[in-house]
Amino acid sequence: MTFLVRHLEPTPNGLPIQIYVFSNDQVWANYEAIQADIFDHILAVIPEFELRIFQNPTGADLQSLAHPVNA
């Protein structure tokens, strides 16, 4: 199976990566399982490389901080 990983132009928030993985399996449920396994593995090994995951918060995230549901 072909597996390509490349990094994009660095940003103030970090170094974005793109992951391309191809599978001969055309069953949608199997594809979803393969994709989930890949992301589970990536997320599990990130600390081994002293890296951190970053995701920009959305407006809803920021709004929930200002107005907590259980406050």
Q: Is residue 32 part of a domain?
A: yes
Amino acid identity at 25: D
Tell me phi and psi for residue 7, to 5 degrees.
-100, 150
Q: Is residue 14 part of a domain?
A: yes
Q: How far apart are CA 13 and CA 11, in angstroms?
A: 5
Q: Is residue 42 part of a domain?
A: yes
Q: What is the pLDDT of residue 68?
A: 73
Longest dimension (CA), the chain: 50
Check if the beta carbon of residue 20 is closer than 8 Å to that of residue 34: no
CA atoms within 13 A on the CB side of 34: 14
Domain that holds residue 53: 3-66
Q: What is the pLDDT of residue 51?
A: 87
Q: What is the pLDDT of residue 1?
A: 62
What is the chain's pLDDT, residue by residue, as a tens digit (71 residues)? Answer: 677 889 899 988 888 889 988 888 889 999 899 989 999 999 999 999 998 888 777 777 777 777 777 65
Q: Is residue 71 part of a domain?
A: no
Q: What is the pLDDT of residue 57?
A: 76
Number of domains composing the chain: 1
Report pTM. Answer: 0.63
